[in-house]
Amino acid sequence: MFKRIAFAIVILLTSATLTASTATAAPPADFDKTLISDGLNVPTAFRFASGGRILVAEKDGAIRLIVNGVLRADPMITLSTAGADERGLLGLELDPAFDTNGYVYVGYTHTDNRNRLSRFTATGSTIDPGSELVLLQSDQESNVFHHGGEIRFAPDGTLYWSLGMNTINVNSEQLGNLHGKIHRINPDGTIPGDNPFAGVPGAEPSIWAYGLRNPFRFDLIGSGPNAGRLLSGDVGGSAWEEINLIERGANYGWPKAEGLCDGCPYAQPVHTYPHTAPPASAGSITSVEIYTGGQFGSQYDNAVFFADYTLGFIKYLKMDDEFRSVISVNDFDTAAGTPVQLTTGPDGALYQLNIYPGELYRIAPSGGNRAPEAKAAASPDNGLAPLRVRFSSAGSDDPDNDPISYRWDFGDGTTSTRANPSHTFFRNGKYQVKLTVSDGTKTDTATVPVQVGNRRPSATITAPADGFKYDAGDTISFAGTGTDPEDGRLGPASMSWTVMFHHADHVHPFLGPVDGVASGEFTIPRAPDNLANTWYRIHLKVTDSGGLTRSTYVDVKPNLVTLTVKTGTPGLSFTVDGIPHNGTLTETAVVGVERTLDVPPLQYANDTRYQFASWSDGGDAAHTIVTPERDTVYTVDFTELPRPPDPWVETNVGARTQDGWASYKDGEFTVNGSGWDIWDTTDEFHYANRPLSGDGRITARLTSQTDTDDWAKAGVMIKESTQAGARYAAVAVTPDNGVRMQANFNEDDGGFAYQPGNAWLRLTRSGDTFTAETSDDGTNWTRIGTTTLTMAKDVTIGLFSTAHDNTEFSKAVFDSVDVSGVPGPVPEPWTCGDVGDPRLPGSAAHENGTFTITGAGDDIWATSDQFHYCHRQLDGDGRITARVTGQADTDDWAKTGVMMKQSTQAGSPYVAAFVTPEHGVRTQTGFDTDTAGTQTGTPAWVRLERVGDTVTAYESPDGQQWTAIATATLSGPVTVGLFVTSHNGSVPNTSTLDSVDVDGPAEVEASLHNGMTSGSREDQGCGPLIFGP
């Protein structure tokens, strides 16, 4: 909040020969501005209570009580705060039922260096420290600047709290933290169910609006179409101050936008004003108050008063009934001092709180006669008796030009009615000399202190030297001495140190006061607020035994260099500390300051897409630099990003999803997706897709995935449309939850392990049935699950990625992407079915000569006979040949191969030649006889050949050279075919076989006549009968 403070009001004087009372500025001619209370220590907020009470928050944690215009000496409470720089107690609100429940709400930086919103309970004139109930707290370390602080109750009983961006610009748009936002909660800390981000994964549910830099003050609209909404100031950065009509869930654009912006996707301010002119080169909107007091006249009804404590003014807006359009901007007080809050009092007056010096004023109609203004000064204001003092009323006047009279009360029983008298004090003592001026009806007073019998001490800062140069990050040591004409050398107890951070001719609070030490140190922050026209002023104030003080200061100045950041590609942009820039940025910078360089993930120039390639210093796309000791240029280069080929398109699914992107090069698809999830009511991801009409299949290998969350998801999908909420089925890889099948936002199956960089995925649609599979090699497939979904014939099919965190992008890279039709049923005369009632049903399909068979079953051995079998009838001699091209490793003894079986009844005699994952090619018969071949792995050729009742099993490495494994006896008509058993009844095994042929008796006879033997022979018979589609 405390963006800049006019240097002229810093109240640490170096040498004073003339002591003046505090001056007050004037509102318009028909108003009086009356001082209610001074002596406040850096006050930040105030609220009215019944019985003439005003509670005032002070930045160091004290809550002071003013009763009927008198400031109580003891605070109601002093909170434990981290009160350096702009941290501390910044917000205050009273419960609507304060008179009965005593609830006080505060926004402050706790000693754990976290910003929090808490409730305390007051009883009488004290607040119980043990009554604290923390309602909301940030989990981010509090930085030096920009902490917001306003707290207000809404008519519906909810509580609003503003929090600045904590010096980190990118906080404002990130929904996962509290900073740069306005929050809405219930008074007990629970979250209203209608908050815009309640229930949104990864988002803070208290957020009401975001994209704000430092919404230090806001008010609620009391009437009209937008009654109950907030009108908020937002302290600007480099150019503009804003007033915003706060909408539920709206993004106000910081740091990507400041002030009005054409065509940008952010909520627009209803009023802006610039602060670029020197010497201020700044601004800080620190008050917004909609006047409803009814005492100022009709022209002020619903006027929006706003104040800027850097520029030192109070103005007001006349707006339409919706508070969206400004009718006029009007000056109210052009020399208002340092206002930090304006509030309409219960008496209809406007009250103004100034932070430097700490004063509370009342502004009200004058009734036709404005009060005069008194100013008093004394020279000298200290010395030994007898002390002759010259008093001056210079500056006292009457705004109506009425004649004024003067009355001085010297505090020793004597008075004077002269304008500028002299007076001699003969007795030692402290005198409060009061000047009263009167226009005959109204009066004003000013007080100036005089001390007799004591002389001011002297103060010297011995370190650092004035003009000492620093880098950000340096530790500055300070030390000083004090002497006094009466007391001699003053000890540390007489010393008080304050450090102020100067920006041009304005200041921020930084450190102190630090009392009771003769030396100390502080560290220059590396924050980017350390600019070329900033420096630190170290003040020392010493106090003698009589209470007289002397102050001095030294300045320490930064080492400066020229820092240039530019792009190597015309038309593209980058960000520095979250703020976007195009082309080249050159600035004079403070050595040692940390700066964050970043680039948008995707940019366009002349319809060409670009993404980050490199920074000249070798840093990542987003990285932090420390401003070097010499002039330096940082250049960012980009590479062209090719689009997916036709007919592929890409879509951001979900209204909140950050814009992702997809690209294609050399057979690889890259999909960068943000979004919170694809589950329940959330449907947010990036989708590279193409049309699919009817049945179809997509196969892809995921070779890379960014681990943005345990539940980030990337994979293949079939979705009815690209609209959020459309029905879908997907095979998804997650960083920590395996490969899964998910569908329709509430179906989940799987959790299969996978090898990172080699996750094969396949999703098949056949009618309303969707089947998900995964593989380690793209050949041997394991079914994850199936589901039934009703979808239109024309759908989308493609690749997707969601980060499960909408503040980040998860990059997924795919290769081996194939979209094709679904394999059809096996051709005539083949018949497929399960044998022996496996626990899981099997299936079979055929495409382009390849059989894909999925079978479960415990085994084909001993008492088990469970498998999936595609077969046909064989009435005499014949043979079957096949190549096993893929087999899922569901068990070491899973079996895929060819079979002759007397019938499809479980337990009927059989002979089989097959492949196993770990035991190579084998033949088995009779449920108890097993013979090993010599081949291992896939692909593997197997054959069974029957002549009479003798069946011989063969193996081959290439389908040309055959070796007999074993023979067995099988009589009568038999079935012949292909089979798969998983050897694990709870897991299906998907295998593929091709080059399948079945030869009848003539072909077998021919091959035997051509000299082929059952031991080792060359196949010279008829070519295989390949079953095509």
User: pLDDT at residue 539 above 90?
Assistant: yes
Report the C-alpha gap between 200 and 677 in whole angstroms.
Answer: 10
Same domain, 553 and 573: no
17 domain-assigned = no
Same domain, 321 and 246: yes
First to last CA, the chain: 74
Are 597 and 575 spatial neighbours (Cβ–Cβ below 8 Å)? yes
User: pLDDT at residue 842 above 90?
Assistant: no
Helix or strand (DSSP H, E) at 54: strand 53-58
Are 687 and 651 spatial neighbours (Cβ–Cβ below 8 Å)? yes
Look over the chain and give the mean of its residue pLDDT values, rounded to a whole number.
89
Q: How many domains does the chain have?
A: 6
Quick one: pLDDT at residue 1010? Answer: 34
According to DSSP, the β-strands at 181-185 and 207-209 are antiparallel
Identify the CATH number of the domain in which residue 785 sits: 2.60.120.200
Q: What residue numbers bound the domain in which 593 lies?
A: 560-640
12 domain-assigned = no
Bigger pLDDT: 1018 or 221? 221
Looking at the chain, the whole-number percentage of residues with pLDDT higher than 70 is: 94
Quick one: pLDDT at residue 1001? Answer: 53
Mean pLDDT calculated for residue range 210-232: 95
Joined tokens for residue 762: 């396949």
Same domain, 549 and 569: no
CA distances from 98 to 95, 351, 379 (A): 5, 20, 49
Which H, E and C letters describe 544-562, residue by residue? CCCCCEEEEEEEEEECEEE
Q: 3-state class of 569 per DSSP?
A: coil
According to DSSP, the β-strands at 560-567 and 632-640 are parallel
Work out the number of other CB atoms within 10 angstroms of the CB of residue 929: 12
505 domain-assigned = yes
Domain boundary residue, one of 406, 427, 452: 452
- What would the DSSP string read from start to end of 221-275? --SSTTTT-EEEEE--SSSEEEEEEE-TT-B--TTT--S--TT-SSPPPSEEEE-
User: pLDDT at residue 1008 above 50?
Assistant: no
CA distances from 442 to 164, 368, 375, 456, 650 (A): 43, 11, 15, 36, 75
11 domain-assigned = no
CB within 8 A of 942, min separation 6: which ones? 881, 882, 883, 884, 897, 898, 913, 914, 915, 921, 953, 954, 955, 956
617 domain-assigned = yes
Quick one: pLDDT at residue 279? Answer: 56
Same domain, 306 and 196: yes
Same domain, 545 and 581: no
How is residue 821 annotated by DSSP?
P
370 domain-assigned = no
User: pLDDT at residue 723 above 70?
Assistant: yes
Mean pLDDT calculated for residue range 133-160: 90
Same domain, 201 and 273: yes
Report the C-alpha gap between 797 and 693 in whole angstroms.
Answer: 10
Most confident range, picked from 154-158, 780-784, 1021-1025:
154-158
Mean pLDDT calculated for residue range 880-907: 95
Report the C-alpha gap between 860 and 857 in whole angstroms.
Answer: 8
Quick one: pLDDT at residue 701? Answer: 95
Domain boundary residue, one of 640, 672, 690: 640
Identify the CATH number of the domain in which residue 68 sits: 2.120.10.30
User: pLDDT at residue 449 above 70?
Assistant: yes
How is residue 339 annotated by DSSP?
E
User: pLDDT at residue 1015 above 60?
Assistant: no
Are 656 and 802 spatial neighbours (Cβ–Cβ below 8 Å)? no
Helix or strand (DSSP H, E) at 101: helix 98-101
Outline where 943-1025 has alpha helix (H).
1001-1009
Bigger pLDDT: 27 or 517? 517
Same domain, 431 and 490: no
Query: Which tens digits make up the pLDDT trace of 338-387?
Result: 999 999 999 999 999 999 899 999 999 988 888 899 999 999 999 999 99
pLDDT band at 833 (very low <50, low <70, confident <90, very high): very high
Query: Which tens digits make up the pLDDT trace of 15-68?
Result: 222 222 333 456 887 898 989 999 899 999 999 999 999 999 999 999 999 999
Task: For residue 99, report the phi and psi dihedrals to the nearest 5 degrees.
Answer: -60, -25
CA distances from 969 to 240, 291, 911, 1018 (A): 95, 105, 8, 24
Identify the CATH number of the domain in which residue 604 sits: 2.60.40
Quick one: pLDDT at residue 530? Answer: 79
User: pLDDT at residue 637 above 60?
Assistant: yes
pLDDT band at 1005 (very low <50, low <70, confident <90, very high): very low
Same domain, 463 and 412: no
User: pLDDT at residue 687 above 90?
Assistant: yes
Helix or strand (DSSP H, E) at 100: helix 98-101
Are 934 and 928 spatial neighbours (Cβ–Cβ below 8 Å)? no
Same domain, 250 and 125: yes
Are 763 and 698 spatial neighbours (Cβ–Cβ below 8 Å)? yes
Same domain, 535 and 579: no
Identify the CATH number of the domain in which residue 517 sits: 2.60.40.10
Query: Which tens digits make up the pLDDT trace of 253-290?
Result: 988 888 888 778 889 999 999 876 555 567 889 999 99
Same domain, 313 and 386: no
Quick one: pLDDT at residue 990? Answer: 84
How is residue 644 annotated by DSSP?
P
Mean pLDDT calculated for residue range 606-628: 92
Q: What is the pTM of this model?
A: 0.66
Written as one letter, the residue type at 514 is: V
Quick one: pLDDT at residue 1024? Answer: 30
Query: Which tens digits make up the pLDDT trace of 729-740?
Result: 999 999 999 999
CB within 8 A of 593, min separation 6: which ones? 472, 526, 527, 528, 530, 626, 627
How is residue 191 annotated by DSSP?
P
Quick one: pLDDT at residue 18? Answer: 28
Quick one: pLDDT at residue 531? Answer: 83
Query: Which tens digits make up the pLDDT trace of 575-599?
Result: 998 888 989 999 999 999 999 999 9
Query: Which tens digits make up the pLDDT trace of 554-565?
Result: 999 999 999 999
Closest to 92 measured CA to CA, from 162, 183, 156, 2? 162
CA quadruple 163, 259, 42, 279: dihedral sign? positive
Same domain, 777 and 735: yes
Domain boundary residue, one of 558, 579, 605: 558
Report the C-alpha gap between 519 and 285 in whole angstroms.
Answer: 36
Report the C-alpha gap between 10 and 260 in whole angstroms.
Answer: 34
Query: Which tens digits make up the pLDDT trace of 793-803?
Result: 999 999 999 99
Looking at the chain, the whole-number percentage of residues with pLDDT higher than 90 is: 72
pLDDT band at 2 (very low <50, low <70, confident <90, very high): very low
User: pLDDT at residue 1029 above 70?
Assistant: no
Let me know if 753 is exposed, middle or buried by CB neighbors in 10 A (0-12, 13-18, 19+): exposed
Q: 3-state class of 324 per DSSP?
A: coil
CB within 8 A of 940, min separation 6: which ones? 883, 884, 915, 921, 955, 957
Strands laid side by side in the 608-615 sheet: 584-590, 560-567, 632-640, 608-615, 603-605
Quick one: pLDDT at residue 281? Answer: 61
CA 621 to chain centre: 18
Quick one: pLDDT at residue 1007? Answer: 38
Quick one: pLDDT at residue 1016? Answer: 31
Are 776 and 731 spatial neighbours (Cβ–Cβ below 8 Å)? no
10 domain-assigned = no
Report the C-alpha gap between 315 and 330 in whole angstroms.
Answer: 6
pLDDT band at 167 (very low <50, low <70, confident <90, very high): confident
- What would the DSSP string read from start to end of 55-98? EEEETTSEEEEEETTEE-SS-SEE--B--STT-SEEEEEE-TTH
243 domain-assigned = yes
Query: Which tens digits make up the pLDDT trace of 241-250?
Result: 999 999 999 9
